[in-house]
A and B are shown apart, each in its own frame.
Chain A
Amino acid sequence: MRVAVLARLAWLVAFAPPLVAGGETRADGPLIADLSSREIAITTSFAGTELLLFGATDGEGDVVVVVRGPARREVVRRKERVAGIWLNGTAVTFDHVPGFYFVATSRPLDRVAPAETLAHLQIGVETLKLEARGAATPKLAAEFHAGLLGAKQASRLYSRKPGTVSVQGGRLFRTSIRFPANVPTGVYSAEVHLFRDGRPISVSKTPVIVRKAGIEARIYDFAHEQSALYGIVAIVIALVAGWLAGVVFRKA
């Protein structure tokens, strides 16, 4: 079963770039960009990481960097007070919610392009098209939508950093992207947009893979794919550890 996972991962590595990066830029285009690494490995000592995104343009312009994490379904629950106790009340489901969303710009976003253009390109958290299922009224849907964004921001999975793309000589640009310790795994897409006079000129997309690596990944896969055997191993480890401790301390 582990072989199957590795095969899937190898498939992703081999074929994901052309799939995700539909419009990969050629070196002679108006924009080229790359990252310090296209892979983030979550290992035992993982406490979040930073990637450097850098590139060059063929002239002056505004640079906007958007990093999206893999989409998934999210259930948003609102805490409600019943008899003095706070419990999970109403729930609303959102489909295709990016697990991670990061925006960095060379200038404040509202000066880069008009709102309609940004909405069309889904640049900015508020432009994400998130459909609420199970909300009784549009007002409730909007409330939960705001709650979803708030929760994502609180867990540092959604962030915006206006003015943090630094441009040198009008051509070279760079910015750093912070990934917190709780980043979801999967295929991410790092997009760089070039704007001139409010119009989108070019876009470059680079895939980034976030995966668990080393012993962490093995334990996680083991627990999820062979959970019965994992349970037995966990029990045996506990029995041996407890017995060993007893023996060691009786002698000491």
Chain B
Amino acid sequence: MQVYLPIAEISLDAFLLLGLGGMVGFLSGMFGVGGGFLMTPLLIFIGVPPAVAVGTEANQVVAASVSGALAHWRRGNVDIKMGMVLLAGGFVGSGFGVWLFTVLRQHGHIDLVISLCYVIFLGVIGALMVVESVRAWMSSRSGAGARRKLHLHTWMHGMPFKMRFRRSKLYISALLPLSVGVFVGMLSAIMGVGGGFVMVPAMIYLLGMPTSVVVGTSLFQIIFVTANVTFLQSVNNQTVDVVLALLLVLGSVIGAQFGTMWGARLRGEHLRGLLGLIVLAVAARVAFDLTVAPAALFGLGHGGVR
């Protein structure tokens, strides 16, 4: 059944979109990630203009994060103070990101920048995940669980504007979470993702937050940052397609339920290794598209022809 998408201005099969939503929803339920980093490239592969894919995905991530964030909120797994500092940075970063997006779009370079961001960030994060999970798997086999220090004290702890985060049991410079927020906000605006795949490792390894509050706090701030991106993309670029977003949401909430059930059967390091491989595969595909000779040398307008 073909559906004409009013903002993307193309017509696509509704069942294809529901299926895509379901598949990405399944993976995001299984691995506990937002799925924006998978959905945006997939939308571009099936012909949605990259700018619309990014704007619409930000909107979809809002929906995808709500129920998870609420569940964590009820269980008290959200460090509100930390979330607010991250959010302050997130608003600045996403505002700057959308501005950069608009400028790049006018000069015809946005498609390239989106792709490059995907190759770089997915490549690095995917590789780190695979390496980490293989190490964890090896050490669990050898029996001796490697001990890690609770806190590593480095130059970062000498930075000014120290703030106490009771829920996370941390006393660190507010500049640290603030800059993490700015960085993830920019990624969110340019890549159309929640940014959990950067945020969660940054919270654990950089800020040293306890894992119990990491996911809840990350989801809490992702809702507001992606909402901000949705708003700014709507105002500046008119690239948020609500029809497309709704179809994807519908598919993904159903897929996520099955994904969660499946995910519970797998072990942590296996899950992370598998997710790492998927992330690497997406990065490889985007990189391949960048380097292979295009079918048409000449393109028109903003998005160009495919």
Contact = CB atoms under 8 A, between A and B. Distances in A.
Contacts of A117: none
B196 to A, nearest CB: 15
A242 interface: yes
Most chain A C-beta atoms within 10 Å of own C-beta, residue among B11, B60, B109, B223: B11
A235 B58 CA distance: 10
Given A74-B301, A151-B296, A234 B242 contact: yes
Interface string B47-73: 000000000000110111111101100
B291 A245 contact: no
A96 B252 CA distance: 43
B240 A230 contact: yes
Given A228-B234, A238-B230, A238-B245, A150 B296 contact: yes
Given A148-B300, A227-B234, A231-B240, A238 B7 contact: no
Contacts of B161: none
A47 B4 CA distance: 7
A216 B11 CA distance: 12
A243 B300 contact: no
A85 interface: yes
Nearest to B299: A77
A127 interface: no
Nearest to B2: A47
A22 to B, nearest CB: 30
Nearest to A48: B11
Given A78-B298, A88-B109, A245-B67, A181 B4 contact: yes
A124 B67 CA distance: 57
A76 B300 CA distance: 5
A84 interface: yes
Contacts of A148: 298, 300
B301 A228 contact: no
Contacts of A13: none
Given A79-B297, A150-B298, A234 B230 contact: yes
A151 B305 contact: yes
Interface string A63-90: 0000000000011111101001111100
Given A42-B4, A231-B234, A242 B63 contact: yes
B231 A228 contact: yes
A249 B252 CA distance: 13
Interface stretch (A106-114, A130-138, A189-197, A217-225): A217-225
A43 B5 CA distance: 9
Contacts of B112: 85, 87-88
Contact of B11 (A85, A181, A223, A238): A181
Contacts of A233: 242
Interface in B200-257: 223, 227, 230-235, 238, 240, 242-243, 245-246, 249-250, 253, 257
B263 interface: no
A74 B304 CA distance: 11
Contacts of A152: 300
Contacts of A188: none
A231 B230 contact: yes
B3 A44 contact: yes
Contact of B66 (A42, A43, A227, A243): A243
Interface of A: 42-48, 74-79, 81, 84-88, 91, 144, 147-148, 150-152, 154-155, 181-182, 212, 215-217, 219-220, 223-224, 227-228, 230-235, 237-239, 241-243, 245-247, 249, 252
Given A234-B245, A238-B60, A239-B227, 8 more contacts: A44-B4, A85-B291, A86-B294, A151-B299, A219-B7, A237-B245, A238-B245, A241-B250
9 contacts: A78-B297, A147-B297, A216-B4, A220-B6, A227-B238, A232-B231, A234-B59, A234-B234, A235-B231
Interface of B: 1-4, 6-7, 9-11, 59-60, 62-68, 70-71, 108-109, 111-112, 116, 223, 227, 230-235, 238, 240, 242-243, 245-246, 249-250, 253, 257, 290-294, 296-301, 304-305
